[in-house]
Amino acid sequence: MSSETAMLEAYSKREYKHGFVTDIDADTIPPGLSEDVVRLISLKKGEPEWLLEWRLKAFRHWQSMEEPTWPHVSYPEIKYGDMIYYSAPKQKPLLDSLDQVDPKLLETYEKLGIPIEEQKALAGVAVDAVFDSVSIATTYKKTLEDAGVIFCPFSEAVHSHPELIRKYLGSVVPAGDNYFAALNSAVFSDGSFCYIPEGVRCPLELSTYFRINAQNTGQFERTLIVAEKGAYVSYLEGCTAPKRDENQLHAAVVELVAAEDAQIKYSTVQNWYPGDEDGKGGIYNFVTKRGACRGDRSKISWTQVETGSAITWKYPSVILQGDDSVGEFYSVAVTANHQQADTGTKMIHLGKNTKSTIISKGISAGVGQNSYRGLVKIQKNATNARNFSQCDSLLIGDKCGAHTFPYIEVRNTSSQVEHEASTSKVGEDQIYYCRQRGIPTEDAVNMIVNGFCKEVYQELPMEFAVEARKLLSISLEGSVG
Amino acid sequence: MLEIKNLSARSEDTEILKGINLSVKAGEVHAIMGPNGSGKSTLAHVLAGREDYEVTSGEVTYEGQDLLAMEIEERAAEGVFLAYQYPVEIPGVSNKYFLKAAINSIRKYQKQPLIKTSEFLDLLKSNLAKLGMDKEMMERSVNEGFSGGEKKRNEILQMAMLQPKLALLDETDSGLDIDALKIVAEGVNALRSPERAIVVVTHYQRLLDYIVPDFVHVLSGGKIVRSGDRTLALELESQGYAFLEAETASA
Ligand SMILES: Nc1ncnc2c1ncn2[C@@H]1O[C@H](COP(=O)(O)OP(=O)(O)OP(=O)(O)O)[C@@H](O)[C@H]1O
Ligand SMILES: [Mg+2]
């Protein structure tokens, strides 16, 4: 074996830079899951009766379900009874001003490079920060209010806008949709709610930053975004967690609703702790994300850069109900070391002339396993529907794997579906060629990987594209030379 | 500039170079010819640092330094350039980006400031014009989908941009049409200077009409079996390599 192969193989010894723990007093309930726990969570949040009932129904449904085994991933049995379902920093969760936020929390976000003090914040980005089970701060509230945009913690919206929550909660991802969505519906803690009224173009990028801190705690957040007729919003979520030897479960649900001519652009930069070099620890990221293009000419795009988590299982999907509606999915998923990912999308075409685009880029290094799983379904009435899918895999070293599972169902004759797939390797000869031109190995690999992901980066908001590029090079750092 | 002494090298299972001796001084142009499989490309790659080969004996001094002890990118940054017989494709990375990354990596190594974008673009434009290349090609991925001749021309463009001290050209002429051959030869000649040296590997005397060598060597069976001036190339052209075998057998 040449030393270049050895270098490529070493390509996964990375440092996780967000692995610190914040020492903070927390209100944590004992481990375990039962109806009483569901009631307790609801009680702690002071929720109305209907929401408690909704949770309990989901919980009972969950109890009758089985964990899915079809994803191309493997992990030891999750002991749902040993997990903690609620943990919150001890302080009043609803804050009028950042002065009331525990300085330790502000420090945490500072360290993570997430500015939540407005004067330091990225220009034009409003941030909601979720720490374990509660939202701790939302910035730029005033600017958003003036535009008529609602952007607040989910638990706050339950009280301030109960009619909207009641109308839309579970309307895209029903409580019993799948095993993890049902679990989330029963015990969800917090998350963000965004509502963009008719005709409003949201004046800021909205962003939620999720942080898991407490040990043995699951994070079950819920995000709901509603864009009314002609509205536009671009939303970004980021995620990190401390280094811990145990695996932690993150089972979120995201629902998007786009009315006529509305557009929602949802971007994720996911960097949960991936576990160590030997595959110990890390987050199980089992997430249900779905958008409904309810109105004609509406558009939903998912862009995701997934570099973290021990296991990723998610299929951000779009239901194209409105005529001429558009669904897009742009994804970069990296699996290094022992990481596993089974990710992709579902595009369900119901309306006429609906269009979907899928660009998926899977990168595997170390002994990582990366699967693309995608469904394109075109129903009988979705005449003249179009789909274009492109699934590319890049392998770094020769102990990793890439798999593609495309499912295509077309029920009419006027529609067109195109699927392209490729698998390539970061070859030793490519690295050698770059080095012969003076470019060191690590830079060469970054250059090749970035080139491979180019089409997806183009879809990310500017600052986040820069961030994503950095993240990717960190996740592959030390893996070569 | 380059001093190769008794250099032997092998791949995993075979001995390929068997005691090469060669001395190249600044300002000189050397041509290496020889039958297929005689080890010409292997020699070029060993000098560039390719890790598929193991040097079993001998030494190589480049500008007074032990070349074999240097990393591949260090050799490049110190001015060693190899134009590949088979240039490599890098999908997703544009030629323009690649060239700039190469220039800046070398500058970083030499502790020089990075190149200004405007300076880079001017330099690129003038070299493209010299080599009769379309500027649109620079937006395309490195060598991806390039024709055989375009790839070779692209190697020369990279050389012109990087201005190496020691250029090793491995069969840069093969695959080029007659007009392209002239253009590429002009590009190489433009690099000729008293501070630089050029080693061209070729099968055809024709290239040497344009790039006139000071010395011609014949590599056969992993050894340099004959050296001479440019008339040796003409001799080979008319007689082929058969006479070498006769000579070595009778010696
Ligand atoms: N990595 C390798 N592994 C095994 N054998 C090799 C390797 N590289 C070269 N060889 C062998 O070594 C010999 C010399 O190859 P080389 O490419 O140096 O020849 P060449 O003189 O450049 O030939 P040509 O004129 O055809 O380009 C050939 O027999 C080749 O098959
Ligand atoms: Mg050769």
pLDDT at site A242: 59
Q: What is the CATH number of domain B2-250?
A: 3.40.50.300
C-alpha to C-alpha distance for A345 and A359, rounded to whole angstroms: 10
Does B41 contact ligand 1 (Cβ within 6 A)?
yes
B151 C-alpha to center of ligand 1: Å? 21
Instruction: Let me know if residue A480 belongs to a domain.
Output: no
Q: SS3 breakdown of chain B: % helix, strand, coil, rounded to 5?
A: 40, 25, 30
C-alpha torsion sign, points A392, A395, A398, A404: negative
Residues of chain B found within 8 Å of residue A392, distances taken between Cβ atoms: none
CB-neighbour burial class of residue B13 (10 A; exposed 0-12, middle 13-18, buried 19+): exposed
Q: Does the interface predicted TM-score (ipTM) exceed 0.90?
A: yes
C-alpha to C-alpha distance for A397 and A337, rounded to whole angstroms: 11
Single-letter amino acid code for the residue at B191: L
Interface of A with B (CB under 8 A): 2-4, 424, 427-430, 432-441, 443, 447-448, 450-454
The number of folded domains in chain A is 1
C-alpha to C-alpha distance for A132 and B30, rounded to whole angstroms: 69
Q: Which residue has the tokens 């060191």?
A: A440
Atom of ligand 1 nearest to the CA of B44: 18
> Which residues are registered as beta bridge partners of A377?
A348, A409
pLDDT at site B106: 97
Q: What is the pLDDT of residues B141-192, one digit of tens each?
A: 999 999 999 999 999 999 999 999 999 999 999 888 888 999 999 999 999 9
A371 C-alpha to center of ligand 2: Å? 40
Q: Beta A355-364 vs A326-335: how paired, if at all?
A: parallel
pLDDT at site B138: 94
Phi/psi at A153 (5° precision): -60, 145
Q: Which position has the higher pLDDT, B231 or A127? A: B231
Half-sphere exposure of A64 (CA within 13 A, CB side): 8
- Segments forming the whole domain that contains residue A343: 2-475
Instruction: Let me know if residue A481 belongs to a domain.
Output: no
Hey, of B47, B51, B144, which one would you mutate to test binding to chain A, going by the most A CBs within 10 A of its CB? B51
Domain ranges of chain B: 2-250
Segments of A229-310 assigned E as strands: 232-240, 247-250, 253-258, 263-270, 282-293, 299-306
Could you say which of A4, A439, A451 has the minimum Cβ distance to residue B102? A439
**Token representation of residue B97:** 């980006």
Record: contact A437-B93, CB cut-off 8 A = no
pLDDT at site B121: 95
CB-neighbour burial class of residue B115 (10 A; exposed 0-12, middle 13-18, buried 19+): middle
Looking at CA atoms only, how far is residue A232 from chain B in angstroms?
31
Single-letter amino acid code for the residue at A352: K
Does B52 contact ligand 1 (Cβ within 6 A)?
yes
Does B222 contact ligand 1 (Cβ within 6 A)?
no
State mean pLDDT over B65-72. Answer: 96
Looking at CA atoms only, how far is residue A442 from chain B in angstroms?
11
Record: contact B91-A437, CB cut-off 8 A = no
Atom of ligand 1 nearest to the CA of B52: 1
Does B37 contact ligand 1 (Cβ within 6 A)?
yes
Residues of chain A found within 8 Å of residue B75, distances taken between Cβ atoms: 436
Q: Collect the ranges in chain A with pLDDT lower than 70.
A: 1-26, 89-139, 210-217, 239-245, 462-464, 467, 471-481
- Residue A322 contacts by C-beta under 8 Å, 6 or more apart in sequence? A260, A293, A294, A295, A296, A297, A298, A351, A354
Residues of chain A found within 8 Å of residue B145, distances taken between Cβ atoms: none
Residue nearest to atom 26 of ligand 1 (CA): B36
pLDDT at site A433: 97
pLDDT at site A7: 43
Q: Which residue of B has its CA nearest to A446?
A: B93
Hey, of A5, A394, A428, A439, which one would you mutate to test binding to chain B, going by the most B CBs within 10 A of its CB? A439
Q: A143 in helix, strand or coil?
A: helix
Residues of chain B found within 8 Å of residue A437, distances taken between Cβ atoms: 76, 98, 102, 105, 158, 162
> Which residues are registered as beta bridge partners of A88?
A27
Q: Which residue of A has its CA nearest to B47?
A: A436
Q: What ligand is nearest to the CA atom of residue B36?
A: 1
Does B42 contact ligand 1 (Cβ within 6 A)?
yes
Of B38, B43, B169, which is best to mutate to test ligand 1, by the most ligand atoms within 8 angstroms of its C-beta? B38
- C-alpha R_g of chain B: 18
Looking at CA atoms only, how far is residue A451 from chain B in angstroms?
4
B222 C-alpha to center of ligand 1: Å? 10
pLDDT at site A306: 85
Looking at CA atoms only, how far is residue B106 from chain A in angstroms?
6
C-alpha to C-alpha distance for A178 and A68, rounded to whole angstroms: 8
Record: contact B90-A439, CB cut-off 8 A = no
pLDDT at site A368: 82
C-alpha to C-alpha distance for B171 and B184, rounded to whole angstroms: 12
Record: contact A432-B51, CB cut-off 8 A = yes
Looking at CA atoms only, how far is residue B48 from chain A in angstroms?
7
Could you say which of A429, A439, A451 has the minimum Cβ distance to residue B73? A439
